[in-house]
Amino acid sequence: MEIKTLSQLDLQNKRVILRCDLNVPIKDGVIIDDRRIRASLSTIRKLLAKDCSIVVIAHLGRPKPDQKNNLSLAPVAKRLSELLETEVAFSEEIIGIKQKTDSLKTGQILLLENIRFLAAETSKDELERKALSSELATYGQVYIGDGFGAVHRKHASVYELAKMMPHAAGDLIITELGVLEKLTMNPNRPYGVVLGGAKVSDKIGVISNLLEKVDLIAIGGGMVFTFLSAHGKEIGKSLVENDLIPTVKELMKRAENLGVKIILPTDIVVAKEFNAESNATIVASDEIPKDQMGLDIGPESARFFADEIGKCKTVFWNGPMGVFEFNNFSNGTRSVAQALTKIDGISVVGGGDSAAAVRKLGFSDQDFGYISTGGGASLEYLEGKELPGLVALS
């Protein structure tokens, strides 16, 4: 798929519609982590250097009609302005503002309110999405897609709008794709993938697609209990997706035939209740008591996972090894993160909860080869799926 870059589009003096991913965590009006905003700066600065005016479109969360107040992009406009050291105007209106966008002068930036406040943005009805994007298209002359975290969504401002206008991808998308290509085209070996998080169903596609490409897959988190259950082990009250057990069995058989090592924990940190104060005990993974649930991989497994990761030259990691939000159950995730920081090769943290976990546990972004800004988007890319937002930019 050939994707145009900023340098391949005539941008001089243009009014640009820029789709960014500014979906940052905000608590009580305060931005807790501004990395997605920072990741968008490179493209914005390049556009400013080309004397463009910029209409920025972005989303925040998944608003329902009664939730709007908590999901306004107003604090993001302020932060963006601070980071750029230039004024960023904010428009509460999204529709019917052509006059406002027409009057933007060179170097002026206007951020529109959360595009997902409009149901048409995410509508399943193509005509509704097209009606919205037709309106948005009147606000600029060219379209730059840079919201990597949203490229797996067939949304009006990501897909239809891009197709309607002369377009190119911004720097963030190009950087993310460069990293993902390293994971899929001739990766240095051994190549290991570490998967965790709550649900197997989210990761089945990735495991299936990467089986042909990797040397080892280490599995932890809540998803591991479906694997342990598929091996016939008692998993007590742990998370499980019973309907996926046949699929998991099939994957394990395929892995065996391909000579791919699937590593499962040999010990588990269990507790009676799902809460931060729960008493944590360590048991063998085939001795989980019926009345307890597994909330982290155990120390022996964490050491083993770390050793195996340490031998790899390429590692992709998505999903915490345990409930990292609770101190008692964060050690597995910490060990894996630590091992990733030391590998002699490329380590990629696949956004979402894994990125939140490494930051919460005190690691810095520079400790890793790359931390993706798009958890879902990078997973879907690695599943081998076509991402609408990239198709539209090709």
Catalytic residues: 36, 199, 352, 376
Nearer to ligand AMP, 323 or 340 (CB): 323
Task: Tell me the backbone φ, ψ of residue 296, rounded to 5 degrees.
Answer: -165, 160
Using CB under 6 A as the binding rule, whether residue 361 contacts ligand AMP is answered as no
Position 382 contacts ligand AMP (CB under 6 A): no
| Number of residue whose CB is nearest ligand AMP | 197
Nearer to ligand AMP, 16 or 357 (CB): 357
- Applying CB under 6 A, among 300, 325, 367, 383 the residue interacting with ligand AMP is 325
Q: What is the largest CA-CA distance in the chain?
A: 69
Contact indicator for 51, 89 with CB cutoff of 8 Å: no
Instruction: Give whichever of 43 and 292 is closer to ligand AMP, judged by the CB atom.
Output: 292
- Selected binder of ligand AMP within 115, 323, 377, 382 (CB under 6 A): 323
Work out how close the CB of 263 gets to ligand AMP at its nearest, in angstroms, rounded to a whole number.
16
Binding status of residue 353 toward ligand AMP by CB under 6 A: yes
Q: Is 295 helix (H, G, I), strand (E, B) or coil?
A: strand
Q: Residue from 83, 89, 198, 255 that binds ligand AMP (CB under 6 A)? A: 198
Backbone angles phi, psi at 327, to 5 degrees: -50, -45
Stretch that binds ligand AMP, among 8-16, 174-182, 322-330, 360-368 (CB under 6 A): 322-330
CB of 293 to ligand AMP, least distance (A): 7
Q: C-beta of 167: minimal distance to ligand AMP in Å?
A: 31
Q: Does 322 bind ligand AMP (CB under 6 A)?
A: yes
Stretch that binds ligand AMP, among 104-112, 191-199, 341-349, 366-374 (CB under 6 A): 191-199
User: Which 8-state DSSP code applies to residue 114?
Assistant: -
Per DSSP (E only), the strands in the chain are: 15-19, 26-27, 30-31, 53-57, 88-91, 109-112, 142-145, 167-169, 191-195, 216-219, 261-263, 267-271, 281-284, 293-297, 314-318, 346-349, 370-371
Nearer to ligand AMP, 188 or 266 (CB): 266
* Counts of helices then strands in the chain (DSSP H, E): 15, 17
Among 4, 84, 190, 202, binds ligand AMP (CB under 6 A): 202
Q: 307, 312, 319: which is closest to 369 by C-alpha?
A: 312
CA dihedral 159, 160, 165, 167 (to 10 degrees): 10
The SS3 assignment for 323 reads coil
- For residues 107 and 51, the answer to whether their CB atoms sit within 8 Å is yes
CB of 90 to ligand AMP, least distance (A): 31
CA-CA distance, 323 to 317, in Å (whole number)?
Answer: 16
Q: Is 295 in the site for ligand AMP (CB under 6 A)?
A: yes
Minimum separation from the CB atom of position 59 to ligand AMP (A): 19
R_g of the chain computed on alpha carbons? 22
Token couple for 230: 């598929």
| Shorter beta-carbon distance to ligand AMP: residue 294 or 388 | 294
319 binds ligand AMP (CB under 6 A): yes
* Residue keyed to tokens 């406002």: 100
Residues 214-253 that bind ligand AMP (CB under 6 A): 221-222, 239
Provide the minimum distance between the beta carbon of 142 and ligand AMP in the complex, in angstroms, as a whole number.
35
Binding residues for ligand AMP, per CB under 6 A? 196-199, 202, 221-222, 239, 294-295, 319-320, 322-323, 325, 352-353
